[in-house]
């Protein structure tokens, strides 16, 4: 089912952030939201996740959807290993085993560090764990708020490949300021 937003508005302290926005996110599509800082990209994602409430407008198509999220902040449990941070979101261990997780961590260059507490990781390493955790959760809709920010070019390409591989046949909504990232995903671009 498509996610349809009709006439959505949101203001903070009389500052209009989203003004009568209407947009459709087709099912099983990859969409990048772009726009200058303050254009309402993160606000829109927060409304889709029901972390914020719109002042007006209607959203349909989210009913019964399982949502997985990559926030701008990594939101990891720092005292836990990468493996345990990821296992926390896996409801069905028959679907993804520890060895599967270790293989995915290996693919993004974290295999040797997988059993260290993430508090010992660099920012880019933590980012990759946060992204992989969201990708391995059981989801219908993946929301990512600037997921590739802070990654070097080689690592960014590894992560792009991983995201593309693990989001086939899924609906993805991502924010970015980088048009090349949107193009790397062959994404539909929506400017706010």
The single residue listed with the structure tokens 């994602």 is: 45
Sign of the four-CA dihedral 80, 83, 86, 87: negative
Q: How confident is the model at residue 8 (pLDDT cuts 50, 70, 90)?
A: very high
pLDDT at 186 over 90: yes
* pLDDT recorded at residue 22: 96
* pLDDT recorded at residue 114: 85
Sketch out the chain's domains with CATH numbers.
1-65+171-192 (3.40.50.300), 66-139 (no CATH)
* pLDDT recorded at residue 56: 96
* pLDDT recorded at residue 46: 96
pLDDT digits (tens, 9 = 90+) for 74-99: 999 999 999 999 998 887 767 788 88
Mean pLDDT of 151-157: 90
Percent of the chain with pLDDT over 70: 99
Residues across the chain? 192
pLDDT at 111 over 90: no
**Contact, 80 vs 116, CB < 8 A?**
no
pLDDT digits (tens, 9 = 90+) for 12-37: 998 999 999 999 999 999 999 999 88
DSSP string across the chain: --EEEEEEEEEETTEEEEEEEEEEE-TT-EEEEE-STTSSHHHHHHHHTTSS--SEEEEES-TT--EEEE-SS----TTSBHHHHHHTT-S-TTTS-HHHHHHHHHHTT-GGGTTSBGGGS-HHHHHHHHHHHHHHS--SEEEEESTTTT--HHHHHHHHHHHHHHTTTSEEEEE-S-HHHHHHTT-EEEE-
Quote the CA–CA distance of 176 and 159 in Å, as a whole number: 15
pTM above 0.95, yes or no: no
* pLDDT recorded at residue 90: 86
If one compares 56 and 150, the residue with the highest pLDDT of the two is 56
């Amino acid at each position: 089912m498509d996610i349809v937003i009709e006439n959505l508005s949101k203001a903070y302290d009389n500052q209009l952030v989203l003004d009568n926005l209407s947009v459709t996110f087709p099912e099983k599509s990859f969409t990048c939201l772009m726009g200058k800082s303050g254009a309402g990209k993160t606000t829109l994602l927060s409304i889709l996740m029901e972390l914020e409430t719109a002042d007006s407008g209607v959203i349909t198509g989210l009913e019964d959807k399982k949502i997985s999220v990559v926030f701008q902040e990594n939101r990891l449990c720092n005292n836990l290993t990468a493996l345990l941070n990821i296992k926390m979101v896996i409801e069905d261990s028959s679907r993804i085993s520890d060895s599967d997780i270790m293989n995915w961590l290996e693919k993004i260059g974290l295999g040797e560090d997988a059993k260290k507490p993430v508090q010992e990781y660099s920012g880019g390493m933590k980012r990759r764990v946060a992204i992989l955790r969201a990708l391995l959760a059981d989801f219908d809709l993946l929301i990512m708020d600037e997921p590739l920010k802070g990654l070097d070019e080689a690592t960014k390409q590894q992560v792009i490949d991983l995201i593309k591989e693990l989001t086939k046949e899924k609906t993805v909504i991502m924010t970015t300021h980088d048009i090349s990232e949107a193009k790397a995903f062959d994404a539909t671009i929506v400017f706010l």
